[in-house]
């Protein structure tokens, strides 16, 4: 079993939330560039940022027997008006806002 748990976050909310499950978790600020790449889809953005946060902590802390917890989230909003032509109904019917993946602990 790992000896340490590290949360890659400076968010007080995330720190308090994870401490309800892992009271001895350590939190480190990842200090990464969180800029969105041009044309980057939201699912790719959150995966890239979570991986970058974890990697930043690995490079700084050099953890052994440690689990690093890193995540990110993004809000997505799109407004669709009613289609005026039948050709536009099918793409609208297939429009999906469900998350790419969810991990429930």
**Beta-sheet strand order (sheet of 4-8):** 26-28, 4-8, 66-69
Q: Which residues pair with 67 in a beta bridge?
A: 5
Residue position matching structure tokens 């429009």: 95
Active site residue 72: yes
H helices within 62-95, ranges in order?
A: 89-93
**Catalytic entry in 31, 33, 72, 100:** 72
State the first-to-last Cα distance of the chain, in angstroms, to the nearest integer.
Answer: 17
| Catalytic residue annotation | 72
């Amino acid at each position: 079993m790992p000896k340490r748990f590290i949360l890659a976050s400076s968010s007080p909310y995330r720190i308090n939330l994870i401490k309800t499950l892992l009271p001895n978790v350590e939190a480190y600020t990842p200090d990464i560039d969180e800029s969105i790449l041009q044309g980057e889809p939201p699912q790719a953005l959150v995966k890239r940022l979570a991986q970058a946060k974890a990697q930043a902590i690995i490079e700084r802390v050099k953890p052994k027997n440690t689990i690093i917890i890193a995540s990110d989230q993004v809000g997505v909003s799109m407004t669709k008006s009613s289609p005026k032509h039948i050709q536009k109904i099918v793409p609208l019917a297939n429009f999906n806002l469900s998350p790419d993946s969810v991990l429930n602990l």
